[in-house]
Amino acid sequence: MPWCAKRHEILNVVGRVCDNLGSQGHPQISTLRSLFAIRGTEPYPPGSRMSRRTCHVNEAVEKLRKQVSTLATFGGRALRSSDVGELLQKATELVSEAIEVDLVKVLEILPDGQNLLVRAGVNWKPGVVGHATIPADEGSPAGHALRTDTPVISDVSTESRFKIPALLLEHGVKSAVNVLIRGDRGPFGVLEVDSRQHRSFGQDDIDFLQNYANLLASAIDRVSKHQELEDSIRRQEVLLHELHHRVNNMLMTISAVARLTRSKSKNIDEFAKALDDRLTALARSHALLSQPGRTTATIKEILLQELSAQGAVEGGNLFQEGPEISVPSRQAQLLSMVFHELATNAVKHGALSTKEGRVEVRWQTQAATRAQHLRILWRERGVAIDQDKLKKGRRGFGSEILERSIPEMLHGSFDRTFHSDGIECILEFCVES
């Protein structure tokens, strides 16, 4: 029975009760009668044209009240939620209840721009939500709404503008409406309502769904920006930690360099010159690692930076070969010092001190238990080595950092062999993760 007819019947019953009470002398009955407008004062009897119109108006008011309540409920949730997936799922549930259609879904534009993913939905078969896709071109209802930026109402049995997706046919959809979910950075996707019964969606339905989609777009933008802010904060924390770590490593390295340089220097001038050269090498590696987004450096970058500073030219007196391997900042700074000492020695006494000299550097890796094991071969050619002078010569800081600091600070090994035409050095250590 329609609600208006029920109302009329109830009022008649109340009227009869009032008559009985009035005959017993209750003075408030006249007031009660006027409030209920009954027993002869009901202007629209059941079934009349005006009664039906009143019924429709009441139903429209109830529908509007329900939709406004849904918008308010979702708006409150949108302000609290920090999970886009959860927000979308709740949005489809509320729309389904408000518009009294069981199939509702949110379609998200995939990065390729060619398809829409069923990101959230209610009452779809298992495996649809999160997996099924629909073409994003104008060959589908959702794609048409996306491309035209206008709501699209479809009657499956008579639709001729585009092909109805198989997903809708499999679920027995007969009527559908699609509205665009706009966003600050472009459309997010489409909100789609699918009815299993033939339904004429009116302008009030379209207005409600578009308002809902606009509210949903704002909520998505808010959550996305909140997530970006949190990610930015985490990146800043990582960068601060890395900066603190690098500064500590740099200070420890400078301290070790200064201490060993002082112990091997004859006078203050020699100490100042040697320390300045070595700190300059550290500064070069620091500049390399200080580039935006850099936390590692490759073997090739470190090698060419140090050798080019000493006048070596690739393809001329320098040959290098090896896979692209990156090492973290601490090891990169230490490796820079190693190459600096080897290059400095080559300029003073080795292959880079003569026109015929040549430096060859090769490196390779092999899998270790927990890290990547790196082996670097430094070979100088084209310079005569006087074995007698080597036995009588004083060992300087170059020897100290290569033979003592490498095993201690890189947890590796360093071996050096003097051939008749030049020196050969092998450096081995495990690359830190």
> Do the domain assignments include residue 322?
yes
Residue-wise pLDDT tens digits, 93-103: 888 888 888 99
> Do the domain assignments include residue 66?
no
Q: What is the pLDDT of residue 76?
A: 66
> Do the domain assignments include residue 378?
yes
Cross-strand partners of 302? none
> Do the domain assignments include residue 270?
yes
- Ordered DSSP codes for 238-273: HHHHHHHHHHHHHHHHHHHHHHHHHHH-SSHHHHHH
> Do the domain assignments include residue 50?
no
- Show the domain range for 313: 265-431
Residue 118 has pLDDT above 60, yes or no: yes
Overall average pLDDT of the 178-194 stretch: 90
Residue 364 has pLDDT above 90, yes or no: yes
Identify the DSSP state of 401. Answer: I
Q: What is the pLDDT of residue 24?
A: 47
Where is pLDDT greater, at 205 or 40? 205
> Do the domain assignments include residue 76?
no
Q: Structural domain tally of the chain?
A: 1
CATH number of the domain bearing residue 401 = 3.30.565.10
> Do the domain assignments include residue 57?
no
Burial tier of 257 (Cβ tally within 10 Å: 0-12, 13-18, 19+): buried
Of 162-176, 224-238, 267-281, the range with the lowest mean pLDDT is 267-281
Residue-wise pLDDT tens digits, 293-309: 677 889 998 888 888 87
Do 142 and 134 form a contact (C-beta atoms < 8 A)? yes
| Contacts of the segment 235-242: beta carbons below 8 A, 24+ positions apart | 242/295, 242/329
Q: What is the pLDDT of residue 401?
A: 65
Binned at pLDDT 50, 70 and 90, residue 72 comes out as low
> Do the domain assignments include residue 143?
no
Q: What is the pLDDT of residue 38?
A: 39
Residue 32 has pLDDT above 50, yes or no: no
Do 378 and 402 form a contact (C-beta atoms < 8 A)? no
Burial tier of 30 (Cβ tally within 10 Å: 0-12, 13-18, 19+): exposed
Rounded to the nearest integer, the mean pLDDT of the chain is 77
Query: Which range has the top average pLDDT, 85-89, 364-368, 379-383?
Result: 379-383
Residue 212 has pLDDT above 80, yes or no: yes
Residue 68, token pair as written in the block:
């406004």
